[in-house]
Amino acid sequence: MNPTILPLDWLLGTWQSDEPGEGCFPTIKPFRYFETLQFSHVGQPVVNFSFNAFHADSKKPLHRECGFIRMQPGTNKVAFIVAQNSGLVEIEEGELTGQQLNLRSHAIARISFAKEPHVKEISRVFQLRADGKLEQRVSMATDTQPLMEHLRITYIRSS
């Protein structure tokens, strides 16, 4: 493993949601979902990731994200670079404190025919809890809504 990303080694592996996560936002119906996260590396100073979500009841595919996590060498500064199947591309930046990663959008781009309202801001927290579960919380702001929690889910490591 590249020494630059050693502080992120607690994320590596495959994580499965242990119970359905919850999603809500004023412009959509609340929903429940399962998700698989994969974090890996190939020796470069970057963590590769992919996230795959499925509707808890219908099992239909939902959200997909893939990208990279980079760290600024010699610091706790982190960049989270992600492409989403919805046509959103974003760069989130933040800090790693112990086994918690706090991120906030730095840049957001979207396809020209993206569904409205458009996402304007995203913040995300990954935290490895004392019980060994990984928790992810995602907040979002759009053209019409202020920043508020959108997703909350916990995972157990499956590999």
Q: How many CA atoms lie within 13 A of 106 on its CB side?
A: 13
Give per-residue pLDDT as tens, 120-147: 999 999 999 999 999 999 999 999 999 9
The pLDDT value given to residue 74: 95
Return d(Cα 15, Cα 38) in angstroms, integer: 6
pLDDT of res. 20: 98
CATH number of 3-157: 2.40.128.20
- The pLDDT of residue 159: 84
pLDDT for position 7? 97
pLDDT tens by residue, 67-123? 999 999 999 999 999 999 999 999 999 999 999 999 999 999 999 999 999 999 999
155 pLDDT higher than 90: yes
Amino acid making up residue 114: A
pLDDT of amino acid 71: 98
Q: How many CA atoms lie within 13 A of 21 on its CB side?
A: 28
pTM for the predicted model, two decimal places: 0.95
Could you state, in order of their start, the residue ranges of all structural domains in the chain? Answer: 3-157
